[in-house]
Chain A
Amino acid sequence: MSESTRGNPMSEPPSSRPPRQASLSAAIDLGLTAAEYERICTIQGGEPTFTELAIYSLMWSEHCGYKHSRPLLGRLPTQGERVLQGPGENAGVVDVGDGWAVAMKVESHNHPSAVEPFQGAATGVGGIIRDIFTMGARPIVSLDSLRFGELDGEENARQRYLFEHVVAGIGFYGNCIGIPTVGGDVAFEAPYAGNCLVNAMCAGLIRHDRILRAVAAGVGNHVVLIGSKTGRDGIGGASVLASQEFDETLEEKRPSVQVGDPFTEKKLIEACLELQENDLVVSMQDLGAAGLTSSASEMASKGNVGLDIYADRVPLREPGMEPWEIMISESQERMLAIVAPERLGSVQEVCARWDLDATVIGEVTDSGHLRVFFGGERVASIPARRLAHESPVERTPSFPPEHLVDEPVRFSETNGYPRPADLNATLLTLLAAPNIASKRWAFEQYDYIVQANTVQIPGSDAAVLRIKGTQRGIAFAADGNGRRCYLDPYRGAREAVAEAARNVSCVGALPVAVTDCLNFGNPEKGDIYWTFAETIEGMSQACEALATPVVSGNVSFYNESFGQAIYPTPLVVMLGVLDDVTRNIDHSFKREGDLVVLVGPLSETNVAVDGSEYQKTVFGRVEGRIPDVDLDLEARVQRTVREAIAAGILSSAHDCSDGGLAVTLAECAIGSGSVGGAAFDDPETRRPQRFLGATIAVETTMRDDLALFGEGSSRIVVSLAPDQLDNLCSLAGDVPLTVLGEVTGERLRPRVVAFPPRVTDWT
């Protein structure tokens, strides 16, 4: 966008508005290009009305139309035995056994949260929840993945403000609505200072035969709007906020942020699930970005029908709204339903029971057009397909970013990497780093236990929930390390998928499907577009290798402020399935005398300082090239650990990633002495009140600090009774195993022993 001097052209008060006319300059003000305006005139057979222009500007925006990402997203694997619904619906749906399926999706609410963190985050949560119950699924779990700038220092007061209010906003919405927030991740890196990331994920449970798709059908059927009244909030949110970079007009964009009412959404969930269970609706669609416009055009386009909308029948919160405002308002907590005339009475009865408006605002037609009427006049008529499924596509000529290098850094005293004198102090420094330290401050503000399904609370490798009435469980983990993707987007994306899968494997769950949120800068820039393409390729390969198709997702571009882009951040949320949920384990040491074993390689080809928390925190650098994941080895390491958990061999398992081996071991020890922050002896969860330490000797050819703090993939630290080691070895086959030491005492005592370089047999 070149118009950096204006705020939201749609947010001026009515009195100061000139009469709205469509024109090329109005089109450009709304974020369209001259070429797009020309194309609109061709489709419309002349100048569009202003309402039509406003509708096009939203539906063809990056946020709704995916104009830059659509050509590349086709590369992602989306098929699999368990996939009941892939991308293209409100959420992906995955078979989890016994006739149950999980509907899941993650979505960004980055731009609104940067402008108004509390409401931005809250409405992000609200929006993704609606996507889930629109499918007919009862939402059972939320996760949130957050990125902010660095927290420390006077100059970062805004980052602390954003973090505090984003967390409060997520809690405000999720706690009120009664969906447990069981996990996610948080990281703090300078490039997110201008554009925090708020990625909200929700999943719901549904029977296979009850999946609903948002397809309008049945000429003559009613179009019913259910839920909140419509106001001027969030007008242009998708085009003004989410499809542009930030600049000095940030504050002026506040009116584009919606306001959430979780109380209404809670009633909406109950009413909609009741309507769906009793087969009272043909289909449903929530109102999200671009409001009524996108819901109506998507439903019509998918059903090959038309919809007539009478904008003056929409219940309004404020008087004097114009038809285009009504059509693109992003007022929250609203659903659109297609209802057969004979069912209308029953639908209104259910909604009245929940004190919700249910208003007939239009009907299904055979015109193929989205037509809008206001005061007896037709103010818009657009082919629905053109809006929802045939928006323009852009490809940016691309090139690699300048900072990329082919070789890893030379890790030596003389090259700026002196060995710290006191490695104990280094370990404490890393444990205190915001990216590694406990996230209890955040997750204690979330209700993680409501609905009585939570098996593992936040703080473990993956959240685990049981499925009531079955032996089964599901697990979720979220990963996406932007710093590492910045150094190599292809390898970083492969690693993000591998780590998310590893995390769910660590609790004993089989990774089965992915929902992803791809957060990037301005795709009109060649290096950003190149990075995006590399990311898609990397993710695709990893998802194929690990048999975890991508069933839904979201792309968020324009995460830039004053030309500075965020780290490329592909967030991967992995769903795992446990056939027997009682077989899940967590990361903390359980028993004095257990052996501590590393499953996976301990070698310099796999472990590096490049892109590590150690490199950033201790040396103040982010440079080099991260090691590539061996996806075949990764799959075997994960399978070994899953099979060992299922066989009841292991006491604990923990992914070895941020902070390296030393931090991983420390987390196993710290986790042993408390439950959710309160020390208490509980025989049932087998958690002792006393903290359990370990004596560790790492034998390696690497410099000791690199062995302790270097990062790499395909490594899991497990503990087990000594007499189970043989069983683990036979399960492992040719997967490398290294006995590191023993669970003992209350202190962690890691030691590194130099090892003759010729020895390579780790088993």
Chain B
Amino acid sequence: MSAGPRFGVVVFPGSNCDGDAYHAVSTFPGVHVEYLWHKDTHLGNVEAIILPGGFSYGDYLRCGAIARFSPIMQAVSDFAHAGGLVIGICNGFQILLEAGLLPGAMLRNTGLKFVCRYVNLRVETSATPFTSACRAGEILRIVVKHNEGNYTTDPDTLARLQRNDQIVLRYVDAHGEATAAANPNGALANIAGICNEARNVFGLMPHPENSVEAGLAGGTDGRKIFQSMIDTLVRQR
């Protein structure tokens, strides 16, 4: 195939950022993007998978808890274990946690309210396929919007995440400090995004797909996340 990298966006019933993720990827020239239906069991020939934001299955029972049993999730899991790039945004992050592809769990925001807000994110590591186009320490401004983004895990896992450089994004203030006031949801250690040990699966609460076009309220900082993935896929060829 001569065309550029091929992305797949999984559509669960109740996904509502699937269209935005599709649109965001399509703003990169030469990149192919297609939808993947939750009832399917094959991923076709995509090279990167986006689990989009939204309220899969209405967030009933627990965020992501039902979606993780969707027929397509077995294929996603196999793809991830084979080293394929998987990014879970917001509800997609929650699904990755429920599916055991990333460690930890989500609690309700400490404010007990849905929060839609611009946050400052410090890139903790550029040594991932999702942040390679960023500098470590760089600050991105992207919107969060969720009810359950209060990431938590046990102390051993947190220590392991830190040791392995798996914490990818942290909520910080305008000066780059990871303060309590800069944390929109109470997440442990101000964690906004983590990757797995193999570094090919990434979950984050902020919405980079709403931050790819100049002239819109979301700005363009989210482009760096997708650009990193595209660069990685191109390098791998």
With known contacts A263-B57, A449-B143, A689–B113 Cβ distance under 8 A:
no
A71 within 8 A of B: no
Which 4 pairs show the lowest CB-CB distances between chains A and B? A178-B16, A263-B58, A678-B118, A176-B55
CA separation between A410 and B237, bound complex, in Å?
81
Q: How far is the CB of A548 from chain B (nearest CB, A)?
A: 26
B207 within 8 A of A: yes
Q: Is the CB of B16 within 8 A of A177?
A: yes
B218 within 8 A of A: yes
A-side contacts of B82, CB under 8 Å: none
Q: Is the CB of A449 within 8 A of B218?
A: yes
With known contacts A176-B14, A262-B55, A689-B174, A452–B216 Cβ distance under 8 A:
yes
0/1 interface trace, chain B 5-47, chain A, CB 8 Å (1 if under): 0000000011011011001100000000000000000000000
A133 within 8 A of B: no
Q: Is the CB of B23 within 8 A of A452?
A: yes
A interface bracket (residues with beta carbon within 8 Å of B): 35 or more
Q: Is the CB of B20 within 8 A of A450?
A: yes
B216's partner among A177, A445, A454, A677 (CB-CB below 8 A) is: A454
B185 within 8 A of A: no
A261 within 8 A of B: yes
Q: List 24 A-B contacts (CB under 8 A).
A: A172-B114, A175-B116, A177-B16, A178-B17, A263-B14, A263-B55, A263-B59, A266-B16, A266-B55, A267-B13, A354-B13, A446-B114, A448-B116, A449-B217, A452-B23, A455-B216, A466-B215, A466-B216, A676-B117, A677-B117, A678-B120, A678-B141, A680-B120, A680-B141
With known contacts A452-B216, A455-B215, A262–B58 Cβ distance under 8 A:
yes
Query: Which positions 667-701 of chain A face chain B at CB distance < 8 Å?
Result: 675-680, 682, 684-685, 689
CA separation between A670 and B60, bound complex, in Å?
40
A-side contacts of B23, CB under 8 Å: 452, 468
B64 within 8 A of A: no
Query: Which positions 408-463 of chain A face chain B at CB distance < 8 Å?
Result: 443-457
B-side contacts of A684, CB under 8 Å: 214-215, 219-220
Q: Is the CB of B210 within 8 A of A679?
A: no
B86 within 8 A of A: no
Q: Is the CB of B113 within 8 A of A445?
A: yes
Q: Which residues of B come within 8 Å of A, CB atoms?
A: 13-14, 16-17, 19-20, 23-24, 54-55, 57-60, 113-120, 141, 143, 145, 147, 174, 207, 209-210, 212-220
A171 within 8 A of B: yes
CA separation between A466 and B19, bound complex, in Å?
16
Q: Is the CB of B217 within 8 A of A447?
A: no
B-side contacts of A679, CB under 8 Å: 174
Closest-by-CB residue of A relative to B210 is A449
CA separation between A444 and B114, bound complex, in Å?
8
CA separation between A62 and B55, bound complex, in Å?
37
Q: How far is the CB of A152 from chain B (nearest CB, A)?
A: 21
Q: Is the CB of B118 within 8 A of A450?
A: no
CA separation between A651 and B58, bound complex, in Å?
43
Q: Is the CB of B13 within 8 A of A263?
A: yes
A444's partner among B59, B115, B210, B220 (CB-CB below 8 A) is: B115
B-side contacts of A678, CB under 8 Å: 117-120, 141, 174
Q: Is the CB of A176 within 8 A of B215?
A: no
B-side contacts of A582, CB under 8 Å: 215
A-side contacts of B16, CB under 8 Å: 176-178, 266, 450
Q: How far is the CB of B182 from chain A (nearest CB, A)?
A: 9
Q: Is the CB of A682 within 8 A of B116?
A: no
CA separation between A680 and B218, bound complex, in Å?
13
CA separation between A263 and B91, bound complex, in Å?
14
A735 within 8 A of B: no
A-side contacts of B145, CB under 8 Å: 175, 447, 449-450
B-side contacts of A171, CB under 8 Å: 114
B-side contacts of A451, CB under 8 Å: 19-20
B-side contacts of A682, CB under 8 Å: 141, 219
Q: Is the CB of B174 within 8 A of A680?
A: yes
Q: Is the CB of B116 within 8 A of A452?
A: no
Q: Is the CB of A452 within 8 A of B20?
A: yes
Q: Is the CB of A176 within 8 A of B59?
A: yes
Q: How far is the CB of B221 from chain A (nearest CB, A)?
A: 9
Q: Is the CB of A445 within 8 A of B116?
A: yes
Query: Which positions 560-590 of chain A face chain B at CB distance < 8 Å?
Result: 581-582
